[in-house]
Chain A
Amino acid sequence: MSNAPRLTPHPSPATALSEGASRRSPLLATHRALGATMTDFAGWDMPLRYGSERDEHNAVRTKAGLFDLSHMGEITVTGAQAADLLDHALVGNIGTVGVGRARYTMVCQEDGGILDDLIVYRLQDQEYMVVANASNAQTVLDALTERAAGFDAEVRDDRDAYALIAVQGPESPGILKSLTDADLDGLKYYAGLPGTVAGVPALIARTGYTGEDGFELFVAPEHAVELWQALTKAGEGAGLVPCGLSCRDTLRLEAGMPLYGHELTTSLTPFDAGLGRVVKFEKTSNGGAFVGRAALEAAAERAATNPPRKLVGLIAEGRRVPRAGMPVVADGKVIGEITSGAPSPTLGKPIAMAYVDAAHAEPGTQGVGVDIRGTHEPYEVVALPFYKRQK
């Protein structure tokens, strides 16, 4: 024992976490101090709501909301063939994304099934940041690592390198402008640039998951609390409130945005989900080859000629709320299934997304209902999204 070191260095909280263990946002104590109701989300202890989720939702629609999204999974891809690797591994045409721009895309299995939906930011000519859903981050990391074989590119797990704070809502540009010299007016939707916010180095991205204008700020975890507090103070007069994951879900649902595990799964292709536009068969890198290509070509053909089911919006005529998994019915038969449902604060009615048989998918189709615990509640079939902001 005499040779044993007297002091064993403590592993950092990040490295101490084994896969599956609860992960902690650097803002956890801040949320607790704000009285947040916490929830487990993909192994993360995250705020569900601070007060009324409806008030938080409405603040984002009319003023501004502040979100901790540190559970999102960042993966950095670098190297001379970083673009070629991503063109091979993902369904999008990533090589055509300009430096400082971002792209919504997906990573699919060889059979075309969706492994995750992603945002890819091109930070430099040979550096990309891939942002995956928390629940899929390990899967995406594994897929990219495996698919990187033979490419001159490095895939790096940067989940613990970033905290992510979002400011969303019509007042968000004004709030952020008061804290940064970065050219926000020149920052377009789906663009990102490195800058300084409240003295903290940040990747400033004009992206979000709310249907509103807004920003996502990727910062080192040790700067998260400082940035959160600066944003809170800067937003005081503008009606900024802290917002939990509950209102994030109703905001994205109103905006018709899919959520992995609900509208997107490994048993669906992007074409089945009505998102075939993210698949770029025309890409020329790697000779046009990419993982899932053959299956996705078949899926595109099927979706165009003989779609099994289509993703639609449903608006309740009554007040009972549809939930994921409930059957959609017509003429006493099951014709589909709810994937997401919630009371919509903006519409004042329950809304849902559902996959329904193509014969019942046209907006205005009569006689469609949802089986809510044995009662068939009438629903109107509508095109997505439910809500689109006025620009």
Chain B
Amino acid sequence: MSNPQQLRYTKEHEWLSVAEDGVATVGITEFAANALGDVVYAQLPEVGDTVTAGESCGELESTKSVSDLYAPVTGEVVAANQDVVDDPSLVNSAPFEGGWLFKVRVTGEPDDLLSADEYTEFSGS
């Protein structure tokens, strides 16, 4: 597996991609998806919610466990991926693409986000 170079990452195994309009798309990494196993339920933040970097904003449930979803940045949620709510297996099959989770208009960004190479080393993936 490889972690796309254009994305940035957290130690909680989220990725984010910030567009020019300041809206970030957030998902979990392939490493995290593989570790979870089949994702069967995704509780995502709702449009209009304010999320805070490093705090829990939802949960992903797999056959064996439930995991908190952490916001990688602070801001207002502007979209949640209904396709993932309807078919959570997208998180496993396309974690960096169709399995994205939510979009947030960024107002604050932590200074410890990782590059693809740093995340690859961190996760050993």
A interface vs B, CB < 8 Å? 37, 48-49, 52-54, 246, 250, 319-321, 323, 342-343, 350, 373
Q: Are A321 and B38 in contact (CB under 8 A)?
A: no
Q: Are B41 and A53 in contact (CB under 8 A)?
A: no
**Residues on A with beta carbons closer than 8 Å to the beta carbon of B61:** 319-321, 343
A-B residue pairs, 9 tightest by C-beta:
A343-B40, A319-B41, A54-B38, A53-B63, A321-B61, A52-B38, A53-B38, A53-B37, A246-B63
CA distance A321 to B62 in the complex (A): 9
Chain B 51-93 near chain A by CB (<8 Å), digits 1 or 0: 0000000000101101000000000000000000000010010
Closest chain-A Cβ to B83's Cβ sits at a distance in Å of 15
Given contacts A319-B41, A343-B40, could you give 15 more A-B pairs where the C-beta distance is less than 8 Å? A37-B37, A52-B37, A52-B38, A53-B37, A53-B63, A54-B38, A54-B40, A54-B63, A246-B63, A319-B40, A320-B61, A321-B40, A323-B66, A343-B38, A343-B41
**Residues on A with beta carbons closer than 8 Å to the beta carbon of B37:** 37, 48-49, 52-53, 246
**Residues on A with beta carbons closer than 8 Å to the beta carbon of B92:** 52
**Residues on A with beta carbons closer than 8 Å to the beta carbon of B34:** 37
**Residues on A with beta carbons closer than 8 Å to the beta carbon of B40:** 54, 319, 321, 343, 350
B interface vs A, CB < 8 Å? 34, 37-38, 40-41, 43, 61, 63-64, 66, 89, 92
Q: Are A343 and B66 in contact (CB under 8 A)?
A: no
Q: Is the interface of A mostly helix, strand, loop or mixed?
A: mixed
**Residues on B with beta carbons closer than 8 Å to the beta carbon of A321:** 40-41, 61, 66
CA distance A321 to B34 in the complex (A): 19
CA distance A37 to B36 in the complex (A): 11
**Residues on B with beta carbons closer than 8 Å to the beta carbon of A54:** 38, 40, 63, 89
Closest chain-A Cβ to B2's Cβ sits at a distance in Å of 17
What are 13 A-B interface contacts by the 8 Å CB criterion?
A: A37-B37, A48-B37, A49-B37, A53-B38, A53-B63, A54-B38, A54-B89, A246-B37, A321-B41, A321-B66, A342-B64, A343-B41, A350-B40
**Residues on B with beta carbons closer than 8 Å to the beta carbon of A53:** 37-38, 63-64
Task: Write the chain B residue with the least CB distance to A55.
Answer: B38
Task: Write the chain B residue with the least CB distance to A39.
Answer: B64
**Residues on B with beta carbons closer than 8 Å to the beta carbon of A343:** 38, 40-41, 61, 63
**Residues on B with beta carbons closer than 8 Å to the beta carbon of A49:** 37
Closest chain-A Cβ to B58's Cβ sits at a distance in Å of 12
Closest chain-A Cβ to B55's Cβ sits at a distance in Å of 16
Closest chain-B Cβ to A36's Cβ sits at a distance in Å of 12
Closest chain-A Cβ to B88's Cβ sits at a distance in Å of 9
Q: Are A246 and B64 in contact (CB under 8 A)?
A: yes
CA distance A37 to B62 in the complex (A): 15
Task: Write the chain A residue with the least CB distance to B40.
Answer: A343
CA distance A37 to B43 in the complex (A): 25
CA distance A342 to B61 in the complex (A): 10
CA distance A80 to B34 in the complex (A): 53
CA distance A53 to B62 in the complex (A): 10
Closest chain-B Cβ to A248's Cβ sits at a distance in Å of 12
